[in-house]
Structures are given as C-alpha cells and as structure tokens.
Amino acid sequence: MSAVFEVINLKKAFGGLVVTNDVSLSMVAGDRVALIGPNGAGKTTFVNLVTGALKPSSGEVRLGNEPVTRIGPTGRVRRGLVRSFQVTRLFQDMTPAEHVGLAVLQRTGKSAQLHGNFLTRTAVMEEVDDLLERLGLYSLAHRKVREIAYGQQRLLELAIALALKPSVLLLDEPAAGVPQSDTGRIEEALANLPADLAVLMIEHDMDLVFRFAKRVIVLAAGTIIFDGLPADVTKDARVREAYLGSYANAGLNA
C-alpha cells in the first residue's frame, strides 16, 4: 500500500540548536499512530514543520506522491492534511453549526458565500447535521460555544476537522483538559473515525495511547528512538530511560 503521508530526513535548527534531527516516517491509509515523548522532545515543532507553520532547515514532507514542503498551511489542508490543536481555537460566540458549516464551505471552495445565510443551504446543512449527530453534538448545534462543556468543544474541533475531509489527521492531545468523566466521549469519537483516515496522535496519556494506537513512535531530543508496536514500546531500554520510566517498569513488573 502506498504512503499517504511521508516525512523524509526532516531537520530543523534554531541557530546551533537542532530541535528536529533527521526525522523520517511514513503512514498509509487507515494508520493509527501515536507520537509520544518527554516534554521538550520536539513533538510540537515536528507538527508545525509538517503542517507548514514552520519551514524546515532540510528534508521533505510529502502527501501522496506530491512534495508539499514549500506549500503553506492552507495549501496542505486543501491537499488533505488537517490538524487539531492542544488548546481549543473556537469562536466563543459562534455555534457548532456555524463552525462546521464554515469548514464545509472552505473545503468546497464556496467561502465567498460566508456573507450570506449559509445555514439555510440544504446541502451544507445536511453535512453539518450528519457530522454533529455522529459526534453527539446535534442537540447543541445552535448553542453558543461558550455555553457548551469543554469536552463537547473538543468534539466540535474534531467535527470541524472531519468536515475538511482529510486523508491525514494530526491530533494534538485531543483529550487535554477534558474532565475524566467526559474522556469516554472523546475515545468513542476516535474509535469511530473513518477507517481509511490516517491518524497521527500526540498524547501523554499512555492508557489512551495503548487503547488507540496500532503503532507508536517515540521522539526524544528531536530524534526518533522507537517506531513499532505498542506491545514492544515498554520493553525498549532507550524508551524507558528517555520517557516512560516508572510507567514501563510497573508494566514489566506486573
């Protein structure tokens, strides 16, 4: 199966400080990959590089067979690479329906219709309603974002991302800040993502990592030190030393 997303020898240095060091990885349709590592490992820098927010010092990013290293963030979204953020970036006085509707218009090249009442457009609203229903937000479609719970806001961000119909989805700690009582909704939404969607999730919650990921990549000091099965990651001496520590040791001694 051909790769839908490739990073080839990606490097980023700020002056003499190398924060992304010759990173290479690839993903195929349907992949469920967790990217983990200690604070300061370079995970956020890596995501900013592959989404176009930062320019690499060297290396290449490819979507399908197309190099996108010189293409900006908007161009990469149009080509199927979509990300979420660790902290919500929603407009508090807009509704879920408006957020998702705007994403649909952006994807379909109809952003010129933003000044009209696009919520009356049947085709747009059918897609909006379907996405909100799938993520358990249909009853909140016309509430202001500031009136809904934080966990529901994180689900809304996922709905917006899916409205852009990505082939590759980068999730930056999708359950961050969500009360424990609501994380089940996030996990259910992750489990129900389209089967052909390649997903790379940055996450610190190792229990969530092991429930979600079919493959784990560990980044330390800007370098990939492990890329393999979740069952093997806790057995790797370099990973235990660099990141997992007591979590891995507890698992080994259980």
Spell out the per-residue pLDDT of the chain, length 254, in tens: 799 999 999 999 998 899 999 999 999 999 999 999 988 889 989 999 999 999 999 999 999 989 999 999 999 999 999 998 655 679 999 999 999 998 998 888 766 555 556 666 778 889 999 999 999 999 999 999 999 998 999 999 999 999 999 999 999 888 888 888 778 888 999 999 999 999 999 988 888 999 999 999 999 999 999 999 999 998 898 888 877 664 555 454 44
Q: What is the amino acid identity at position 98?
A: E
Asked whether 239 and 37 are in contact (CB, 8 A), the reply is no
H-helix or E-strand containing 12? strand 5-14
DSSP code at position 166: -
Distances (CA, A) of 130 to 9, 32, 89, 134: 40, 24, 22, 6
pLDDT of 252 reads 44
Q: Which domains does the chain have, with CATH numbers?
A: 5-253 (3.40.50.300)
Query: Strand pairing partners for 224?
Result: 219
pLDDT of 254 reads 42
Distances (CA, A) of 80 to 9, 170, 213: 21, 11, 21
